[in-house]
Amino acid sequence: MTATYSSVQQARQVLADRLRDMRVDARLTGQEHARRCGWHAAKTSRIERGKTAPAADDIRTWCRICGADDQAADLVASLRAAEGMFIEWRRMERDGLRHAQEAIRPLYERTRRFRAYSSWVMPGIIQTPGYTEQVLRAVQRWRALPDDVEQALESRVERQRLLARADKVFAFVLEETVLRATVVDAEAMAAQLGHLLEVASLPNISLGVVPAATGREHWPVEDFWLYDDAQVNVELVSGYLTVTQPREILMYAKTFARLAEAAVYGRDARALIRAAADGLSGPGKEP
Q: Is-contact 244 10, C-beta < 8 A?
A: no
Q: Name 59's Cβ contacts closer than 8 Å, sequence gap at least 6.
A: 19, 72, 75, 76, 79
* Distance separating alpha carbons of residues 184 and 199, to the nearest angstrom: 19
What is the CATH classification number for the domain harbouring 40?
1.10.260.40
Same domain, 226 and 272: yes
Is residue 287 included in any domain, yes or no?
A: no
* DSSP labels, 99-148: HHHHHTHHHHHH-SEEEEEESSS--GGG--HHHHHHHHHHHHHHTT--S-
Same domain, 234 and 266: yes
Same domain, 259 and 147: yes
Is residue 108 included in any domain, yes or no?
A: yes
Is residue 182 included in any domain, yes or no?
A: yes
Is residue 76 included in any domain, yes or no?
A: yes
Final residue before a domain boundary, out of 16, 51, 86: 86
Same domain, 79 and 108: no
* Distance separating alpha carbons of residues 215 and 128, to the nearest angstrom: 31
Q: Is the dihedral of CA 238, 180, 168, 97 positive or negative?
A: negative
Same domain, 72 and 100: no
- What range does the domain containing 262 cover? 93-279
Same domain, 76 and 130: no
Residue-wise pLDDT for 204-259, tens only, equals 999 999 999 867 777 888 899 999 998 888 876 555 677 777 778 899 999 999 99
Final residue before a domain boundary, out of 27, 60, 86: 86
How many domains is the chain partitioned into structurally? 2
Same domain, 105 and 227: yes
Same domain, 79 and 175: no
Same domain, 27 and 132: no
Residue spans of beta strands (DSSP E) within the chain: 86-88, 113-118, 169-175, 205-210, 224-227, 231-235, 239-243
Is residue 285 included in any domain, yes or no?
A: no
Same domain, 78 and 200: no
Is residue 25 included in any domain, yes or no?
A: yes
Residue-wise pLDDT for 187-201, tens only, equals 999 999 999 999 999
Residue 59 has pLDDT above 90, yes or no: yes
SS3 17: helix
* Beta bridge mates, 235: 240
- The reported pLDDT for the residue numbered 73 is 85
Is residue 81 included in any domain, yes or no?
A: yes
- The reported pLDDT for the residue numbered 179 is 96
Task: Return the amino acid letter for 46.
Answer: R
Task: Return the amino acid letter for 112.
Answer: R
Is residue 284 included in any domain, yes or no?
A: no
Same domain, 107 and 229: yes
Bridging pattern class, strands 113-118 and 169-175: parallel
Same domain, 98 and 212: yes
Final residue before a domain boundary, out of 86, 112, 134: 86
Residue 21 has pLDDT above 90, yes or no: yes
Residue-wise pLDDT for 84-127, tens only, equals 555 544 544 455 566 666 777 888 999 999 999 999 899 999 99
What is the CATH classification number for the domain harbouring 121?
3.30.870
